[in-house]
Structures are given as C-alpha cells and as structure tokens.
C-alpha cells in the first residue's frame, strides 16, 4: 500500500503541488482521492526533493487542499491489453463504457511506448485502396503511412474518415483492417456517428474505440491518443494485424497541451503553444509504420480542423512537418456540393511513388496521376482568368480546360459517401476525362499507356 | 578515472532535465550516468555543488534521491575505421547494434560502443621505424570501404615523437598499431581515437574556397553554386521539398565522404536512405553510395536532448575525415529541430528567453556549428588540405522566413536556397525560388567555371538570370493589363523564360536520367536555350512573326534535352546547335 499524502499546497488549473513527499518519480501515475471519496488520476510532471508537481487528467474542480489524499503508485500510466480488446469501447482514461467486463490483461503496457528504431523500420509500400478516387489515384495511402486530414469547421472530415475506415483494403488481400479510433474532445453526435457507422457495417467487431468527448476532462486528452496507439502497437506488432488508427480532432489535443503548458507558466512558442509541441506531436505521429519481419502495420489518419482554415497555424504546420503528406479539404469545393471536397492541388502523399505502378496498382497510375493534376491545374488557372476577364476572353484551349476542370470535379472527385470505387474504376474515369482533351496537351502520358487505356474514337485531334 | 569519480544525488527531474546536488568538482559538458537505470546525460549548467544535466534518454520513472555519477570525460565520439556505412543515433550508438540488443524499439539504458570492437582491419603502415612524426601526420592506411581509404593519423594533441614500432597486419580498433617514442615516454596509437563533440578539431589555418561542390542539380550548380568547404541553408515550408534536395545532394554531390544527419525528422525518411543508398551508384566511383556515407539518425520521436547532440556528433565525424584530406559534405535535416531542442532545454533551465522563446545564444551556437565547416590547411606535415561543406535544412514555422532560426542562419551561411510553396504547388521542383536565392560564392567560383565548363558560362548565367528577372516584371504587367499589351520582343522574353524554367531549372529527382546532370550538359542546355533566344530575337528584328518562331520544331528537342542520356548528349548538343542555326537561315530566306 503506497503512502498517502494530505499535503497538497497548491491547486492551479489542472496542476497540483504536493509537498513533503519522498520517493516520487518523474512521469509516475498518481491517484488523488477527494474528500467525498472520488478517485482521480494524474501524473508527475516534475519531481523534486520534497515536492511534486502533478497534472490531473480529470481536472481539479471540487478538489480541496485539506481533505484530499494523494497516492504515488510507483508505475507509469499503463493500459491492460489482451486479444479480447477488439470490439470494445473505452472512455478517454481507458475504462470500458460499453457495459462489458474489464479487460483481463495479457499484458500491461506503458502508454508512452518506445520509439521504433529507424534501422528496424520497413519502408511502407503496400497500396491501400480506400475506394475514394481523390485519395486512391491522386494521393495514395500506403500501409504504415501517417496521412492526416486537414479540415475546417463544418467540413465533412468525419464522413470521409468513416468511409475510409469502412472501405480500406489492401489490394490483392482480403484481410480487413482493424480500426483503432480515438475521439479527442469531439461532440457526442460526432462520436456517435462513427460508432453507428462502425456498427452498421460490422466494423465494430474489429475496432477498439477510445472516446474523450467535448465535455470530458480536457487533460485526459493528452493520454487518450497514447492509449489508442499503445493498443494499436499491441495489435499490429504482437498480434500481426493491420491497424488503421483514426484520431480526431488533434486540434483539441494541442489545445489541452497548451492548457497544461500555460498552467506551468512555461515560456510559450508561437500562438501560446508550448515550444515542445513539435516533439510532443511527433511522439504520437511517429508511432505509425512497419517493422522488418513483422506482419502487422500501423497506418494513421489523424484529423485536425485548421483554425480559420489557415494551414500555417502551428497545429497543421507542425503536423505537416511530421506526417507523410496531408489531405486538405476545400471549403470552396464543399460549397459547390462536391463530396469529398479534397483539394488535390495542395494535398500530398509523400509515400506515393513507392506504392503505385505495375504489380501494386496499375502500370498507368503514375502517368494518370501526373497528367490529371497537371491539366486540372491548367483548368483552374483558366477558371481564375474567367473570373477576372470574363469567359469570353478565354482562348478555345482555355475553354476546353475549364470544361475539363468542372467535369473532373463533378465525376472524378465527387462520389457518394458509400461509393466504393476500385482503383481500376478510378483510373478508367480518369482516362475517360482525359479523352475530352486534345491529345497533344497530354504530354505526361506514355504512348503505350495511351494505346492501351485511352477510350477509342474519342480523343479529338489537335484543335485549331 | 576512478579517483576523480564524483557521485551526486538527484534533487529534481523535469522531462529531459535533471538537477543533481553533490556534484562539486565536475566540469561543464562532462558525461554523467543518471539514476538507477544508468541513463546517459551531460552537464550543461553548474551552480555551487548542483549541476543541471540534460539526459539523452527518456527520464520517466527517475526520481529524486537516485545517484548521478560523473564519468569525468566530456561527450565524445569514437573515431576510426567502421564509421562508413553505419547508422548512429544522436550520441553515436549504432542503431543496428541497438536493434540486436533490444529489438525493434529503442529501450533505455542501452550501452553500445560506436565502433565494432571485434572486427579486424588490415593496417598498412606508411611510415617507418625511426621516422619523426607529429600530430596530424598519417602513419598508415586501412581500406575501410571499397572506395574509402581510412588514413590513420597521429591524434591531435599527441606529443612529437619518433616511430618506435609499427607493423602491417590485422588489428581490432583497440589494438595498438604503432608506438611512438616521445619526450614523455611511449605513446600508443590505436585505430580508435576519441574526440569531444563540442570542440572543433584543430587545423593549421582556413583557406578561402575556390572549387565548387558539384551536385548535378542544375539550379544549384549553375545559378547558386556552393563551394567545397562552403555553407548553405535550405529553408522552406513543409511539402516544399527540403528533404528531397538534401537527399539529392547526399546522392550526387562530388564529395568523397557524406555525413547525413537526420535531426528530429521522420523515421521513414532514414529508412528510405538506408534502403536506397546501398542500391544507388555513385557516378564518380561507380560504387554504391553507401560506401561513402555515414548516417546519424535522431528522429523526431527519439529523446530531445540527443537531438541537440546529434549535429555535433555528425560534424565531429565529418571533421575527422576532413583531417585525412578528404572533401566531406555534411547535410543536417533539419537545424530547426535542433534549435527547438535547444529551446526546450533552455526553457527547463528557466533561462531568460530571446525571440519566440529561443535562447539568446541561438545565433552564436549556430555560428559555432557552421564555422566548423570550411576548406582548411591540415595540421601535420605535407601541407595537405581538406574541405568540409555544411548544408543545413531549416523548417520555418508556416514558411515564415522572418523567424529566429532562419534569420540567425542567414547571417552565417553564404548560400541561400529559398524554397517556395507556390513553386511546389505548381509542381516545379526543385522549388528553389530563383528570384530570392543567392550564392556569395558565385564570383569566387567564376574563374573555375570559365576554365573547366566554358569561357562564356558565367556570362550565360547572368543573361539567363536577367531574363528571369525581366519575366517577373513582365508578368506583373500581364496580370494588370493582359498579354495583349506586350510587344513581340517582350513576349519572346516570356517564352525564353518559360523555357528556362521548364527545360533547365525544373529537374525531376525521380527521373532516372534527369536526377543527375553533368556540368557539360548543364552548359549545353543553357547554351541552346539562349542560342534559340538570340536567333528568335534576330528573326523578330527581320520581321518574322513571333508565332512562326514559336512553332519551330526545334523547340521540342530543346524541351527534351534534359532527359537525353549523358553519353548521347555531346552528339545531341551539336545537332541542336546546328539545327537552331539552320532554322534561323531558313526563315530569313
């Protein structure tokens, strides 16, 4: 039985100071029992001789200095895992909330994890078919990648993430992904949307869900994604499963981080976020990947809402520096009724080159990707010009490109929330669209691919 | 060492910073072992008998009262054969050895020497018994990799002496290969030598750089060259291609040794290098690139204090090879992450912050780092020279170049390759903005270019740059009043500028042929673009319509020039030059 201290001297924000303590360790798990018998948890942020600074996950409201008792548990925050964890729903602190029994642990794992040795990593290269054309063709996701969705308030990121979770398969194999879902400070409705969607397709049986809702303790959010990833690592690298981790919304996470930092009176970096936010976010995002000689993998899709749709805001900015690309949603496309409103000009998948091509997707994939993004950009330029000078001022060629851009958005990017396109279907739509353009403008397609895939009799010759 | 061992007690733990009392007598930057887990740390502040220590490993579970033991030596790297082809973490623990010891994840308290103690190397002496030698002299050679001869030096700081015994044979790194007789008794030289990372290795003097580091990247070599022994920085927002540029330089730069530091970046990027470099062939030697490369990887999720140390570890290794007389190029990706590590430690020390929370000494630390680069006259006899070029990536938040790390870096480095988000969005790579980038070596290197590349090369470069500048001004006009307001001459300039951008500045890192472009070919492409420009201008004078000029078939061949294989290039070049001449005659007839 660990010693109990009743020596809290200071409570401020999510932090308490406990004095006259001994044998306290950095990062140690702490239990605080309030006067009315409630037990809360926290962790040691600073351990000095005689005093400890403790961060409470559940917040400090209702805590008093006199009657609260503090116990230092001598271990770090751990989560019990076993194969039975699949199909379960937990709160943000790892307690089951689906009415089921507690997990009988196979193991207890430290939620901070250890960094993967770069030498042991295997380079991600297996294409994941999400069934969404704007991702599969233009920004392909591969197994072991971390590819965030940069969204904005009111954009349909939740639908997209749920659709990916439902549809994702690795080409050539039929084994579905296990999904680990971490809800960070999102509303009940949003969390419920995901749960309902998982339930409807039976995906919940191979999912593990952690929910820290908007009205749950803010500081708990710092632990929630780590719990989710610890479970993901267990499933992937010990049970050999392919795991898709969805974390939403990382903006709420970063805000919790800022709250703790402000309470500690640390020197802030940009916009009040702590200077170590890059390192902290990296300790989450870098827990994706593949390992040599192990069958499993962790693919991460963190979702964040960009404050004011600004991608230079510290949260998307630091995320973009760590993750392997980003899917950026566009308010403009969303307004014109396009789903999913993926802005392919600014979205990027850094690992695409090794995941596509013959034997992985199809030989023409790289050609189609480059050519479509090139001509779509030209179409968008023409559209801008039309806004300034009027459509009448456009050349014939510009008009063709403008029509192409409209058509591309309507039939290629746009698709149903339940429409699951194979990569072949996606590429064929791309070829069909390109057949609307004069062939002389399609410089990035190889002749062999044109001969094989271009719909016959449609490609008009050079326009004059 | 045991007699001056100092043992203190931890009084405070706060993340990577540990404060210990009872440390009187230990020195700044001494390495200490922290806590019951024997974590590795370094003293960074001393006050009375308390020492502040930055710990290179995760400190969770460490608490007050645990012991801290000083080793009495500063943080050092092990230098000797076996470095080439290795991948180390920030404090020179070989990652492959750590994987063998602890599995796929890096756990704490692991200890692994930088160099393999078991492996035997074939040592061939190059001095004889009785010969007088001093610090920096080469006493023998070890073939370290098929392309690198490791020269064994008398360590800097060793006393002058005469060779007492030396012999050829197989040795481990800790065996004495040579004994010197000095005024202070016998001095044994082993293949393994140590050097404290924060101290620059001594040189006789620095020399002004005079030769370019050829990188095979057109915009760099032709427009913004870096000298051997020079310094450069690559700032850019995420997604603008910093890492690809760093990888391209590591692959194709004509340095003899490459040290690549992945400082706080992605784990998969280091994996990529590890998988790709053994496969890629160095155009200079015809051997795999890994045989000249050393990797230091402290990825973003590895402990932050070791990230701070990683660039020192890297540059000390680089200096060691420079001291053998090699041309060494060092890439650090990214120095911003290093600065952030500095900021984090400084914050925990409760130092008064400078701009954006960075410590006030950020600028001086950066200068100290970049000043370790340079072309140098080496110590030891024979008047040998070596060069160490340093190229640092900078990751400015939000792409805003006014932030402290970029600004402090720009005050020191001589070459600035500014990456531009808009170019990247238009898929123009490398996304180096030609309007605001600069190289202060350009003038100094001109004599070299005139001599080896072409007498008119610097003039061609200046002309091309002038065209690109003018394009920028003209485009401004077009944006305001439309293309119709331009004269044909001005439109010709726009067309040439477009050709310069698309056929010369654009270079695909992933295209088999385009990824590397020789000096000769760079000169050739630039020449044919400008030739065509002059021809076109001449024809306009004679009243030929602009449309006619722009429809000339030869333009397509110019556009394809960058993907013409190097061996076919001389022929293709002659043929295009002749064709441009022909077309001009044909039109004026």
Phi and psi (nearest 5°) for A425?
-60, -45
Average pLDDT of the residues of chain A: 91
Closest chain B residue by Cα to residue A323: B266
pLDDT in tens, B247-306: 999 999 999 999 999 999 899 989 988 888 898 888 888 899 999 999 999 999 999 889
CA B152 to chain centre: 24
Cβ atoms of A120 and A355 within 8 Å: the answer is no
Residue identified by tokens 């699949």 is: A86
- pLDDT of res. B60: 87
Q: Tell me, yes or no, if A120 comes closer than 8 A to chain B by beta carbon.
A: yes
**Predicted confidence (pLDDT) at residue A283 exceeds the cutoff of 90:** yes
Q: Which residues of chain B are within 8 Å of residue A115 when distances are taken between CB atoms? A: 105-106, 267, 299, 301-302
Give the mean pLDDT of A378-400: 85
pLDDT in tens, B131-178: 999 999 999 999 999 999 999 999 998 888 999 999 999 999 999 999
Chain A nearest-CA distance from B431, in A, is 14
A404, B82, B370 from B118: Cα distances, Å: 66, 11, 35
Strand partners, A142: A127
Contact A120 B64 (CB under 8 A): no
Side by side, which strands form the sheet with B161-166?
Answer: B132-133, B161-166, B176-182, B185-190
User: CA A309, CA A148: separation in Å to the nearest integer?
Assistant: 15
Chain A nearest-CA distance from B257, in A, is 21
- pLDDT of res. A462: 41
- pLDDT of res. A393: 76
Cβ atoms of A231 and A180 within 8 Å: the answer is yes
**Predicted confidence (pLDDT) at residue B491 exceeds the cutoff of 50:** yes
**Predicted confidence (pLDDT) at residue A93 exceeds the cutoff of 50:** yes
Give the mean pLDDT of A403-427: 95
Chain B nearest-CA distance from A133, in A, is 20
User: CA B92, CA A305: separation in Å to the nearest integer?
Assistant: 39
Cβ atoms of B170 and B118 within 8 Å: the answer is no
Pairing of strands A169-170, A69-72: unpaired
Q: Which residues of chain A are within 8 Å of residue B34 when distances are taken between CB atoms? A: none
Structure tokens at B580: 């441009």
Strand partners, A79: A109
User: CA B116, CA B94: separation in Å to the nearest integer?
Assistant: 9
Which of B12, B104, B398 lies at the smallest CB-CB distance from A46? B12
Contact B104 A292 (CB under 8 A): yes
- pLDDT of res. B588: 53
**Predicted confidence (pLDDT) at residue A219 exceeds the cutoff of 90:** no
Closest CA to B92 of B104, B101, B83, B102: B83
B519-541 and B457-481 helices, crossing angle to 10°: 50
Q: Which residues of chain B are within 8 Å of residue A28 when distances are taken between CB atoms? A: 60-61, 63
Contact A26 B425 (CB under 8 A): no
Q: How confident is the model at residue A461 (pLDDT cuts 50, 70, 90)?
A: very low
pLDDT in tens, A44-75: 999 999 999 999 988 888 888 888 999 999 88
User: CA B279, CA B206: separation in Å to the nearest integer?
Assistant: 36
**Predicted confidence (pLDDT) at residue B1 exceeds the cutoff of 50:** no
Residues 235-264 (A) with a CB less than 8 A from some CB of B: 237
Structure tokens at B417: 């390759």
Q: How confident is the model at residue A464 (pLDDT cuts 50, 70, 90)?
A: very low
DSSP state of B202: P
Which of A76, A115, A292 lies at the smallest CB-CB distance from B106? A115
pLDDT in tens, B216-225: 999 999 999 9
Give the mean pLDDT of A385-396: 81
Mapping DSSP onto H, E and C, the string for B430-445 reads CCECCCCCEECCHHHH
Structure tokens at B239: 């997604």
Phi and psi (nearest 5°) for A207?
-125, 155
Which of B274, B301, B482 lies at the smallest CB-CB distance from A283? B301
Closest chain B residue by Cα to residue A74: B61
Closest chain B residue by Cα to residue A118: B267
**Predicted confidence (pLDDT) at residue A463 exceeds the cutoff of 90:** no
Structure tokens at A408: 């591309």
Contact B239 A294 (CB under 8 A): no
Residue identified by tokens 């605001």 is: B436
Contact A27 B59 (CB under 8 A): yes
Which of B12, B301, B399 lies at the smallest CB-CB distance from A47? B12
Contact B357 A269 (CB under 8 A): yes
Cβ atoms of B244 and B429 within 8 Å: the answer is yes
For chain B, the straight-line distance linking the first and the last C-alpha, in angstroms and rounded, comes to: 90
* Of B3 and B23, more confident: B23
Cβ atoms of A334 and A156 within 8 Å: the answer is yes
Chain B nearest-CA distance from A397, in A, is 16
pLDDT in tens, B82-103: 999 999 999 999 999 999 999 9
Q: How confident is the model at residue A349 (pLDDT cuts 50, 70, 90)?
A: very high
- pLDDT of res. A388: 80
CB pairs under 8 A between A and B: 185
Which of A118, A270, A353 lies at the smallest CB-CB distance from B299? A118
Closest CA to B43 of B18, B77, B60: B18
Strand partners, B196: B76
Average pLDDT of the residues of chain B: 92
Which of A275, A287, A320 lies at the smallest CB-CB distance from B343? A275
- pLDDT of res. A201: 84
Chain B nearest-CA distance from A270, in A, is 7
Residues 389-428 (A) with a CB less than 8 A from some CB of B: 389
DSSP state of B158: P
Which of A275, A324, A345 lies at the smallest CB-CB distance from B266? A324
Q: Tell me, yes or no, if A381 comes closer than 8 A to chain B by beta carbon.
A: no
Cβ atoms of B263 and B227 within 8 Å: the answer is no
Read out DSSP for A252-311?
A: HHHHHHHHHHHHTTPPB-GGG-BTTHHHHHHHHHTT-EEETT-S-EEEEEEEEEPGGG-T
B86, B114, B192, B319 from B141: Cα distances, Å: 20, 20, 13, 18
Q: Mutation test of the interface with chain B: which of A2, A3, A19, A26, choosing the one with the most B Cβ atoms within 10 A?
A: A26
Q: How confident is the model at residue B239 (pLDDT cuts 50, 70, 90)?
A: confident
Q: Name the CA dihedral angle for B294, B297, B303, B307, rounded to a multiple of 10 degrees.
A: 70
Pairing of strands A29-33, A69-72: antiparallel
- pLDDT of res. A359: 87
Residues 6+ away with beta carbon under 8 Å from A255: A185, A218
Question: Where is mean pLDDT largest: A163-172, A175-184, B111-120?
Answer: B111-120
pLDDT in tens, B27-51: 999 999 999 988 999 999 999 899 9
- pLDDT of res. A143: 93
Residues 6+ away with beta carbon under 8 Å from B515: B216, B248, B251, B252, B507, B508, B509
Contact A320 B239 (CB under 8 A): yes
Contact A120 B99 (CB under 8 A): yes
Give Rg (Cα) of chain A.
25
Strand partners, A428: none
Contact A48 B13 (CB under 8 A): yes
Q: Mutation test of the interface with chain A: which of B238, B264, B299, choosing the one with the most A Cβ atoms within 10 A?
A: B238
Residues 308-347 (A) with a CB less than 8 A from some CB of B: 312-314, 317-318, 320-322, 324-326, 345-346
pLDDT in tens, A300-337: 999 999 999 999 999 999 999 999 999 999 999 999 99
> What sign does the CA torsion over A308, A312, A315, A319 have?
positive
Contact A123 B399 (CB under 8 A): no
Strand partners, A80: A108
Residues 268-307 (A) with a CB less than 8 A from some CB of B: 268-270, 275-276, 278-279, 282-283, 286-287, 289, 291-292, 294
Cβ atoms of A82 and A67 within 8 Å: the answer is no
- pLDDT of res. A324: 94
Phi and psi (nearest 5°) for A60?
-110, 5
Closest CA to B113 of B153, B155, B79: B79
Closest chain B residue by Cα to residue A287: B301
Contact A279 B344 (CB under 8 A): yes
Q: What ipTM, to 2 d.p.?
A: 0.89
User: CA B14, CA A161: separation in Å to the nearest integer?
Assistant: 37
Which of A122, A314, A321 lies at the smallest CB-CB distance from B238? A321
Closest CA to A140 of A151, A128, A148: A128
Which segments within B276-365 are labelled E, that is strand?
293-298, 327-333
Q: Which residues of chain A are within 8 Å of residue B100 when distances are taken between CB atoms? A: none
Cβ atoms of B259 and B331 within 8 Å: the answer is yes
Please return the burial class of A158, using the count of CB atoms within 10 Å of its CB with bins 0-12, 13-18 and 19+. buried
If residue B546 lies in a helix (H) or strand (E), which one and from where to where?
A: helix B546-550
If residue B377 lies in a helix (H) or strand (E), which one and from where to where?
A: strand B374-377
Contact B95 A118 (CB under 8 A): yes
Structure tokens at B117: 């103690």
**Predicted confidence (pLDDT) at residue B11 exceeds the cutoff of 90:** yes
pLDDT in tens, B284-300: 888 999 999 999 999 99
Give the mean pLDDT of A427-443: 90
Secondary structure (3-state) at B112: coil
Contact B395 A279 (CB under 8 A): no
> What sign does the CA torsion over A53, A58, A61, A67 have?
negative
């Amino acid at each position: 039985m660990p010693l109990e201290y009743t020596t809290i001297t200071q409570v401020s924000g999510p932090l308490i100071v406990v004095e006259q303590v001994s044998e306290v360790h950095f990062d140690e798990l702490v239990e605080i029992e309030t006067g009315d018998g409630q037990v809360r948890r926290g962790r040691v942020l600073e351990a000095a001789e005689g005093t400890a600074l403790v961060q409470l996950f559940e917040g400090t409201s209702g805590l008093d200095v006199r009657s609260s008792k503090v116990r230092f548990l001598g271990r770090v925050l751990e989560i019990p895992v076993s194969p039975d964890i699949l199909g379960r729903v937990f709160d943000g602190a790892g307690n089951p909330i689906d009415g089921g029994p507690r997990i009988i642990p196979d193991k207890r794992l430290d939620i901070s994890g250890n960094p993967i040795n770069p030498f042991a990593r295997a380079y991600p290269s297996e294409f994941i078919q999400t069934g969404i054309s704007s991702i599969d063709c233009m920004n392909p996701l591969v197994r072991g990648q971390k590819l965030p969705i940069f969204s904005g308030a009111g954009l349909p990121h939740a639908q997209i993430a749920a659709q990916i979770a439902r549809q994702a398969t690795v080409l050539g194999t039929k084994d579905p992904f296990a999904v680990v879902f971490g809800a960070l400070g999102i509303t009940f409705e949003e969390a419920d949307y995901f749960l309902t969607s998982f339930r409807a397709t039976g995906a919940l049986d191979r999912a593990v869900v952690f929910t820290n809702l908007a009205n749950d303790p803010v500081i708990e959010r710092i632990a929630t994604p780590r719990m989710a990833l610890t479970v993901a690592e267990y499933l992937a690298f010990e049970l050999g499963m392919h795991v898709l981790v969805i974390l939403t919304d990382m903006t709420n996470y970063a805000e919790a981080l800022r709250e703790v930092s402000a309470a500690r009176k640390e020197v802030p970096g940009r916009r009040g976020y702590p200077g170590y936010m890059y390192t902290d976010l990296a300790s989450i995002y870098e827990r994706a990947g593949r390992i040599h000689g192990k069958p499993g993998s962790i693919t991460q899709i963190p979702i964040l809402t960009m404050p004011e749709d600004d991608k230079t805001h510290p949260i998307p900015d630091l995320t973009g520096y760590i993750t392997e690309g980003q899917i950026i949603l566009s308010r403009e496309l969303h307004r014109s009724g396009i789903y999913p409103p993926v802005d392919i000009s600014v979205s990027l998948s850094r690992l695409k080159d090794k995941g596509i091509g013959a034997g992985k997707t199809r030989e023409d994939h790289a050609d189609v990707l480059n050519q479509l993004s090139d001509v779509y950009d030209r179409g968008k330029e023409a559209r801008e010009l039309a806004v300034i000078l009027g459509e009448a001022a456009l050349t014939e060629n510009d008009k063709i490109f403008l029509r192409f851009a409209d058509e591309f958005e309507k039939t290629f990017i746009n698709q149903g929330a339940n429409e699951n396109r194979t990569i072949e279907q996606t590429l064929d739509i791309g070829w069909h669209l390109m057949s609307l353009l004069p062939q002389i403008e399609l410089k990035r397609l190889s002749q062999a691919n044109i001969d094989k895939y271009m719909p016959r009799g449609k490609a008009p010759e050079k326009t004059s | 060492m045991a007699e001056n061992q100092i043992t203190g007690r931890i009084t405070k733990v706060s993340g990577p910073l540990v404060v210990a009392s009872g440390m009187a007598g230990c020195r700044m930057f001494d390495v200490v072992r922290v806590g019951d887990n024997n974590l590795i740390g370094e003293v960074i502040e001393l006050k009375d008998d308390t020492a502040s220590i930055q710990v290179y490993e995760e400190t969770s579970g460490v608490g007050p009262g645990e012991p801290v033991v000083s080793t009495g030596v500063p943080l050092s790297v092990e230098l000797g054969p076996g470095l080439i082809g290795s991948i180390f973490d920030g404090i020179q623990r070989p990652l492959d050895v750590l994987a063998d010891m602890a599995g796929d994840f890096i756990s704490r308290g692991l200890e692994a020497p930088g160099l393999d103690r078991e492996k035997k190397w074939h040592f061939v002496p190059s001095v004889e018994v009785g010969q007088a030698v001093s610090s920096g002299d080469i006493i023998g050679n070890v073939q370290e990799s098929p392309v690198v001869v490791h020269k064994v030096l008398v360590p800097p700081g060793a006393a002058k002496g005469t060779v007492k015994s030396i012999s050829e044979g197989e040795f481990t790194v800790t065996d004495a290969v040579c004994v010197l007789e000095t005024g202070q008794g016998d001095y044994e030289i082993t293949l393994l030598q140590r050097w404290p990372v924060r101290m620059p290795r001594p040189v006789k003097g620095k020399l002004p750089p005079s030769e370019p580091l050829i990188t095979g990247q057109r915009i760099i070599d032709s427009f913004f060259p870096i000298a051997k022994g020079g310094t450069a920085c690559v700032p850019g927002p995420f997604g603008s291609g910093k890492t690809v540029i760093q990888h391209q330089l590591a692959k194709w730069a004509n340095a003899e040794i490459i040290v690549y530091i992945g400082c706080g970046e992605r784990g998969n990027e280091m994996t990529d290098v590890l998988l790709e470099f053994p496969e890629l062939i160095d155009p200079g030697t015809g051997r795999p690139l890994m045989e000249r490369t050393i990797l230091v990887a402290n990825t973003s999720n590895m402990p932050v204090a070791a990230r701070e140390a990683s660039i020192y570890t890297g540059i000390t290794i680089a200096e060691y090879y420079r001291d053998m007389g090699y041309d060494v190029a060092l890439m650090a990706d990214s120095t911003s992450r290093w600065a952030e590590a500095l900021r984090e430690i400084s914050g925990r020390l409760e130092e008064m912050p400078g701009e954006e929370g960075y410590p006030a000494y950020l600028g001086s630390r950066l200068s100290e780092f970049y000043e370790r680069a340079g072309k140098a006259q080496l110590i030891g006899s024979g008047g040998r020279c070596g060069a160490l070029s340093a190229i640092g990536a900078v990751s400015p938040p939000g792409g805003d170049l006014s932030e402290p790390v970029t600004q402090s870096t720009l005050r020191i480095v001589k070459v600035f390759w500014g990456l531009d988000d808009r170019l990247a969005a238009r898929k123009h790579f490398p996304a180096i903005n030609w309007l605001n980038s600069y190289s202060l070596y350009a003038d100094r290197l001109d004599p070299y270019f005139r001599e080896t590349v072409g007498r008119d090369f610097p003039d061609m470069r200046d002309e091309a740059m002038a065209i690109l500048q003018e394009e920028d001004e003209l485009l401004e006009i077009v944006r305001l009043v439309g293309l119709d307001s331009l004269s044909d001459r001005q439109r010709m300039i726009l067309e040439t500028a477009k050709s310069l951008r698309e056929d010369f500045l654009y270079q695909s890192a992933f295209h088999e042929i385009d990824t590397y472009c020789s000096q000769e070919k760079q000169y050739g492409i630039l020449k044919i673009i400008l030739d065509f420009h002059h021809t076109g201008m001449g024809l306009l004078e004679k009243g030929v319509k602009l449309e006619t000029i722009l429809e000339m078939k030869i333009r397509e061949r110019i556009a394809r020039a960058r993907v013409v294989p190097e061996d076919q290039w001389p022929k293709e070049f002659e043929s295009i030059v002749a064709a441009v001449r022909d077309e001009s005659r044909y039109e004026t007839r």
